[in-house]
Structures are given as structure tokens and as C-alpha cells.
Amino acid sequence: MIEADRSRWFVTTEWLAAHLDAPDVVVVDASWYLPTMNRDGAAEYAAAHIPGAVHFDLDKVKDETNPLPHMLPSPEAFASAVRKLGIGDGMRIVVYDGIGLFSAPRVWWTFRVFGARDVCILEGGFPKWRAEGRPVSDEAVVRQPRHFTARMDHGMVRDVEDVKRALASGSAQVVDARPADRFRGEAPEPRPGLSSGHMPGALNVPFAAIVADGKLRSPESLAETFAAAGVDPARPVITTCGSGVSAAILWLALESMGHNRLGLYDGSWTEWASRDDTEIVSGPA
């Protein structure tokens, strides 16, 4: 693994404040929460958001034909959704969320899957923006529709069969972002009816272990955390989690460390644990 420039994927609150009115910059509120968090991303956006920001709803911009939560939509559906948000080709997209660094990486990753070349994350997110006393707005934002050319990079996405093959052959490491107690099968899943536990051979790097104050931890801390979990930086990685959201945090961390042989299991544990042709084990990795 080579060292990467993590600033490639982040902008600071200072930078955004200085470029908020730039015509080629669009700010995206990507706030989304687990059911157990008892928070509503759309309602919070309506109450207060960074001035000019549009709201990207993971539960609406999705594959409507798939019963699994917020699975990637088709390129055509994605392009239609972001055009209506006023996001077009050649724009710089800055994504943030209401926790700091939780759902923003999933939306950042989604834009990249569909070909956005200049998309980054607000470091520290909305909590840092507000803590610094920067302006917020409750005004509805309507931008002029823009043309967005969506070309899906299938190499960034993995399905259940890809994960099965990786686990059976060892061709890639499967790294799970869920909390350790859920991974070990000691705590329930937030979605009713799903068993906890993990895929046989999967490794566990809880996303909370690599995030602090809405930011990724230092490169040294990230390297130590992944190494302690048994992740080999020289081998490919498939990231996974509960429903494909926090898996993108692992992706972000690994890519910031220079890892570029990555895939994300879109169905994640929600799909794996709901099938009758997959194996679930308990205990530590």
C-alpha cells in the first residue's frame, strides 16, 4: 500500500465557507440515520442546513425494484435524480452529514460509482460547521436542473456471489464495519428479523474505531487499527457493513491510506443474513 494524499477527498469548513457562492460548487446534505438512532435526515435538513445545500436522500435515490435498503439505482435513475437537484457534469460536489462522518462517505462513494470526478467530503461535517458559528438556513433550495452523465463503474461494487467467491478462495479480504458485538453475534441487529454474527473468514474493523470528532483518525492510527484486525494492506479488500453505508467509511479510510484494490458489498449484512444459501458464524474473527 502506498501513502495517499487524504486531502484529495476532503475540504475544510474554511475552504467551503470561502467557496460557498462559487458557481461550480454544489453542497450536498447526505444526512441519513439508522432506525435505532431516532433521527430524521430529511426533517433535520428542512430545519437547518448549510446555505444552498441540496438534500440527497439515500432512501429515495435507490433501486426501487430491490427490497433491500438503499441499493444502488440504475445509472439512468441516478442521473435523473441528481439532475433535478441541480448537480451536473464538471461541478465540484461537497458532501456532508449531520453526524460528522457517517452517511456522507456512502453518498461520496455513490457519486464516484456513477462517474463524478470531483466529489469530496466536508471534514467534520455539519457539527463542525455549526460549532464554528457558520451560517445555516431553513430555506428550501431549488437549483436549475443540470445535465449529469452517469456511467457506472461496476468494478467498485460487489454482490453476494462475489463475496462468496472471495471468502472461499481468499482472493480478497472481506472487512466488516459493524460494531464488534454485532459482528461476534452478541448483540442484535438494528433491523428486525436479522441474525447477528458474521461471514466465515470476515475481518472486523468497526467504523467507530477509525473516526473521531467527525474525521478520520490519523494515518498512523488507521494503519494500526487495520493491522490489529488482520487486514493485509497488500491484498484486495471488499468492505461490508449492515446495509452498505458504513462500509463506505472503511473504503474512504483505506483509500486515504493508498489502498486502491477495493470493492463494496452493496447488499451487505442485510442481504447476507436474509438468505438461506449463506453461512453465519459467531465469535471473534
Residues listed for the chain: 285
Topology of the domain comprising 155-272: Oxidized Rhodanese; domain 1 (3.40.250)
Q: Are 32 and 248 in contact (CB under 8 A)?
A: no
Question: What gap in Å lies between CA 197 and CA 275, rounded to an integer?
Answer: 14
Q: CA 170 to CA 235: how far, in whole Å? A: 10
Q: Are 275 and 254 in contact (CB under 8 A)?
A: no
pLDDT digits 0-9 by tens, 45-64: 999 999 999 999 999 999 99
120 catalytic per annotation: no
Per the structure block, which three cell numbers stand in for 76? Answer: 439512468
| All CATH 3.40.250.10 domain ranges in the chain, comma separated | 6-152, 155-272
For 30-54, the DSSP string reads -----GGG---HHHHHHH-B-TT-E
Which value, in Å, is the radius of gyration of the alpha carbons in the chain? 18
Q: What is the mean pLDDT of residues 220-234?
A: 96
* Dist. CA 126–CA 28, nearest whole Å: 11
Q: What is the pLDDT of residue 3?
A: 46
Report the alpha-carbon distance of residue 159 to residue 264 in Å, rounded: 8
Collect all residues with Cβ–Cβ distance below 8 Å to 109 and sequence separation of at least 6.
156, 248, 251, 252, 264
Write the pLDDT tens digit of every residue in 89-148.
999 999 999 999 999 999 999 999 999 999 999 999 999 999 999 999 999 999 999 999
pLDDT tier at 171 (50, 70, 90 boundaries)? Answer: very high
Residue 229 binned pLDDT confidence (cut-offs 50, 70, 90): very high
The pLDDT of residue 210 is: 98
Closest CA to 93 of 24, 169, 162: 24
> CATH homologous superfamily for 6-152?
Rhodanese-like domain (3.40.250.10)
Per the residue annotation, which of 241, 247, 253, 254 is the catalytic one? 241
User: Rounded CA gap, 197 and 74, in Å?
Assistant: 31
Quick one: pLDDT at residue 129? 98
- The one-letter amino acid code at 255 reads E
Q: In the Cβ-directed half-sphere of 180, how many Cα atoms lie within 13 Å? A: 6
Q: Which cell numbers in the block locate residue 237? A: 479488500
Average pLDDT score over residue span 208-219:
96
At residue 35, the pLDDT reads 86
Closest residue by Cα to residue 9 from 106, 126, 124, 120: 120
